[in-house]
Amino acid sequence: MAAFELNDLSGQVAIVTGSSSGIGEATARELGKAGADVVVNYHGEERNADAIVSDIRAMGRRAIKVQADVSDEADVVAMFDRAEEELGPVDIVVSNAGLQKDARLADMSLGDWNTVISVNLTGGFLVGREAVRRFRKKGLREHVSRALGKLVFDSSVHQVIPWAFHVNYAASKGGINLLMQSIAQEVACEKIRVNAVAPGAIATPINAGEREAHLDDMLKLIPHGRVGDPEDIGRTVAWLVSDAADYVTGQTFFVDGGMTLYPGFRGNG
Ligand code: BGC
C-alpha cells in the first residue's frame, strides 16, 4: 500500500465537465478540497466559472476554467490539451455536463431529442474516449494513485426509473449506464476505473421550477425526506475517484435518498 492517504487526491489533476453550476460545481469543489487541481469546464456561465476557480485556488490548489461544448469533438480534444498544458497529465475525469428539454412525446421536436442525446450521451462518449486516450498516454503515476485513471459519469435515477414527458433525458441516461459498463469492461485490465453516480432529486437549477411548483409531490418520492444537496453527489464522486475505492469499477452509485426504493410500494403496493 502506498504511503499516501487513501482518500487524498493531492498531486492529481481532475477535469469536471459542466462544473460552473449545480452538481458539477459541487464536485469540482469537493475534488479541490480532497487535494486535486481542477479544470472547471463550462459552456455558457463564465462568471460562475471564474468564481469557482478562485475559490479552489484559495484552497491552495491550481485551477483553470476552460470553455467547451462536450458534444463537439474538437472542443473536447482542445479542453484536454489545455488541461495538460496548464496543469499537467490528467488523472481524474468527471463527465457531468447534461441538460433536460422536456416535452410530451407527441410534442417533442427532433431538435429537443438531438440536443439532449448529443450533450448527455454523445458528450459522455467523447469525454470518456478522450479520457481513456490521455490516461494511456500519461502512464501510471503510482506516487499519486494506484489507478492509471479514474472516469466517473453523472447519470440519474432515470437510468432505471422510466420518466414520462422526459423520454429524451431518460433514454440518454439509460444509454450512459451501458456506455459506462462497457467502457469499464474494456479498460479494467489497464487499471482504469470507470463508474457512475446516479443522483435523485438534487437542489440544482435543472429542477428549480419543478421544486418550486411541486415540492410536496417530489418529497413523497424521497423516503429520506429531503431534496439532496449537490455536495451529497460531490462527496460520493470524491470517494469514487480516490484509492479508497480502488477495487470498484463498472458500478453505479444511486445517491437518491431512497428514490429507487419505489416508495409508492411502501404500503401494500
Ligand atoms: C433530473 C431532475 C429530477 C431528478 C429526480 C434528475 O436526473 O435532472 O430534474 O428532479 O432526476 O426525478
Helix (H) or strand (E) holding 38: strand 37-42
Is residue 86 assigned to a domain? yes
Q: Which amino acid is at 157?
A: V
* Residue 203 Cα to ligand 1 middle (Å): 9
Instruction: Give the pLDDT of residue 134.
Output: 98
CATH number of the domain bearing residue 199: 3.40.50.720
Compare 1 and 52 and report the one with higher pLDDT: 52
Q: Residue count of the chain, please give it.
A: 269
pTM of the model: 0.97
Is residue 217 assigned to a domain? yes
Find how far residue 117's CA is from the centre of its chain: 16
Is residue 121 assigned to a domain? yes
Model confidence at 35: pLDDT above 80: yes
Is residue 224 assigned to a domain? yes
Give the count of alpha carbons within 13 A of 265, CB side only: 5
* Residue 92: strand pairing partners: 14, 150
Q: How far apart are the first and last CA of the chain?
A: 48
Here the cell at position 93 is 475525469
Q: Which domain holds residue 32?
A: 13-256
Please identify, by atom number, the ligand 1 atom nearest to the C-alpha of residue 207: 9
Here the cell at position 12 is 492529481
What is the secondary structure of 144-155 as a DSSP string? T-SSSEEEEEE-
Model confidence at 1: pLDDT above 70: no
**How confident is the model over 107-160, as pLDDT tens digits?**
999 999 999 999 999 999 999 999 999 999 999 999 999 999 999 999 999 999
Is residue 4 assigned to a domain? no
Mean of the pLDDT values across residues 175-191?
98
* Residue 147 Cα to ligand 1 middle (Å): 31
Model confidence at 105: pLDDT above 90: yes
Backbone angles phi, psi at 187, to 5 degrees: -115, 0
Is residue 269 assigned to a domain? no
Compare 268 and 179 and report the one with higher pLDDT: 179
Q: How far apart are CA 152 and CA 139, in angstroms?
A: 19
Instruction: Give the pLDDT of residue 4.
Output: 64
Q: What's the burial of 110, exposed, middle or buried (CB within 10 Å: 0-12/13-18/19+)? A: exposed
Is residue 6 assigned to a domain? no
- 154, 169, 206, 222, best to mutate for ligand 1 pocket (most atoms within 8 Å of CB): 206
Instruction: Give the pLDDT of residue 268.
Output: 76
Backbone angles phi, psi at 93, to 5 degrees: -130, 125
Residue closest to 151 by CA, chosen among 126, 116, 117, 172: 126
Q: How many domains does the chain have?
A: 1
Other beta carbons within 10 angstroms of residue 61's beta carbon come to 22
Is residue 265 assigned to a domain? no
Backbone angles phi, psi at 21, to 5 degrees: -165, 170
169 is a catalytic site residue? yes
Assess contact for 161 and 204: CB atoms under 8 A.
no
Catalytic residue among 42, 169, 247, 262: 169
DSSP class of residue 107 equals G
Q: What's the burial of 2, exposed, middle or buried (CB within 10 Å: 0-12/13-18/19+)? A: exposed
